[in-house]
Amino acid sequence: MASPQKTGTEVPGGAADVGFPPFKTETFASQLLWLAIFFGLLYWLVSKVFAPRLTDVIEGRASRIARDLDDAAAAKAKAEEAGRAYETSLAEAKAKAQSIAQAKRDEVNAGVEARRKALEGDLAAKLAAAEAQIATTKTKAMANVEGIAAEAASAIVQRLGGSAPAKGDLDAALKAALKA
Amino acid sequence: MASPLDQFQIKPIVSLGKIGNSEIAFTNSSLFMMLVVLAIGVFFMMATAQRSLVPGRLQSFAEMLYEFVANTLKSAAGKEGMQFFPLVFSLFLFVLTANFMGMIPGSFTVTSHIIVTFALAMVVFLTVIGVGFAKHGTHFLGLFVPGGAPALLVPFLVVIEVISFLSRPISLGMRLFANMLAGHIALKVFAGFVVSLGALGIGGILGATLPLGMIVALTALEFLVAFLQAYVFTILTCVYLNDALHPGH
């Protein structure tokens, strides 16, 4: 590009072109100066701008991924916790339902038992009353039977003997007969 | 017919005066250094403008470069090595971009001059020494004494370790410089064959296809070398910085 023009204008350049270019010491100072300037500039750019930016991005991404993984693990633990809580509450509810059912059953049983007892008591009382009534009726009947027997016996004796027996004899005889 | 070395000529664009024998000038080399930094700057400015959680294409690429260099640094020098990240990242980007920009036909390869690569290597070398002594004081010299060596051998080993330590900036700079220089010369030489043979008529044009194919292959190789040398420079920098942080063997 610019080289043909330069070789044309640089007259001493023609003489300097003889020899191995990398070993021409007179060009060293200039190369070192510009290398120091440009490499220094590059170093400054890399250390102050590019490297920190890239470090930020890469470490930011790494920490973001780590944080997201932690969040996911925490969410999983929470979900498992919720699952366990659900299981325990379900078990509790089942136990409670069973105990309620049991209590109700016991209550109902107790009620039934009480009613049965009351009914039985009632029936027993009625039975006793009936028996008592039967007994009184029987006693009454027996008393009547005694009277009737006395009358009948008196009538029989009157008809056979002609005269009614004494009241005292009749009673004693009757008593002895009934006792037998 | 241009010499294969012409592409490495430093040509002043704006002269700023002289210091002794050396001309201080804004040269084609300076221009390409500027373009390198400008290209890196523009790319990263655009790539990091959004700083979004889900990166776009540019940001993805920038993050890829970042993590590539960061992982290299961490595996060589440990977590504490990250304090040198800006330096290592700058070196990697500068060398990589300069190497690739040199692959554009007609451009200038900044890293094909030993003074540039040596200066970059010296930056690493002086950083290692400075940080090593600042962090560990005289314990840093323990770097030159291999642990568990027999007492008789220690003086020799220390001499060898010191020489190997001092030759680091030379080998670090020389490796990059020589690779870039040799590759570009080889490309230019084969390109010269194509032109010379092409001038010989129909037979020459047919014969020129051979070096032409060679150029295609070499160009692919040079792209690989451009990346590889930037990577080698970076990983060696990391290894040397590890010595500054952990001088005990």
Give contacts of B 50-69 with A, CB under 8 A.
51-53, 55, 59, 62-63, 66-67
Chain A positions contacting chain B at CB under 8 Å are 1-3, 6-7, 10, 13, 17, 20-36, 38-39, 41-43, 45-47, 49-51, 53-58, 60-61, 64
Residue A175 in domain: yes
Residue A18 in domain: no
Residue B44 in domain: yes
Is the Cβ pair A31, B113 closer than 8 Å?
yes
Q: Which residue shows structure tokens 């930016």? A: A53
- Interface check for B117 against chain A (CB to CB < 8 A): the answer is no
Task: Report the pLDDT value the prediction gives residue B61, as an integer from 0 to 100.
Answer: 94
Degrees to nearest 5, angle at CA B75 with B72 and B80: 100
Q: Are B116 and A35 in contact (CB under 8 A)?
A: yes
Contacts of A54 in chain B (CB under 8 A): 48, 62-63, 66
The CA distance from B157 to the nearest CA of chain A, in Å, is 34
Residue A103 in domain: yes
Please say if the pLDDT value at position A131 is more than 60: yes
Total domain count for chain B?
1
Is the Cβ pair B10, A30 closer than 8 Å?
yes
Nearest to B115 among A3, A32, A46 (CB): A32
Work out the pLDDT band at A146, boundaries 50, 70, 90.
Answer: confident
Residue B1 in domain: no
Residue A96 in domain: yes
Residue A85 in domain: yes
Contacts of A39 in chain B (CB under 8 A): 33, 37, 90, 94, 120, 123
Residue A27 in domain: no
Higher pLDDT, B141 or B234: B234
Is the Cβ pair A21, B24 closer than 8 Å?
no
Range of the domain at A162: 35-179
Residue B130 in domain: yes
Residue A49 in domain: yes
Which of these, B190, B183, B28, B194, lies nearest to A4 by C-alpha position? Answer: B28
Nearest to A30 among B25, B63, B67 (CB): B25
Nearest to A54 among B27, B37, B63 (CB): B63
Chain B residue at shortest CA distance from A20: B5
Is the Cβ pair B119, A35 closer than 8 Å?
yes
Range of the domain at B179: 6-245
Residues B122-160: pLDDT tens digits? 999 999 999 999 988 888 888 888 777 788 888 888 899
pTM: 0.74
Work out the pLDDT band at A90, boundaries 50, 70, 90.
Answer: very high
Residue A78 in domain: yes
Residue B55 in domain: yes
Chain B residue at shortest CA distance from A1: B106
Total domain count for chain A?
1
What would the mean pLDDT of B80-92 be, rounded to a whole number? 94
Please say if the pLDDT value at position A2 is more than 50: no
Q: Are B226 and B109 in contact (CB under 8 A)?
A: no
Pairs across A and B, CB distance < 8 A: 144
Task: Report the pLDDT value the prediction gives residue A11, as an integer from 0 to 100.
Answer: 38
Give contacts of B 174-203 with A, CB under 8 A.
177, 181
Residues A3-56: pLDDT tens digits? 444 443 333 444 445 678 888 888 888 899 999 999 999 999 999 999 999 999
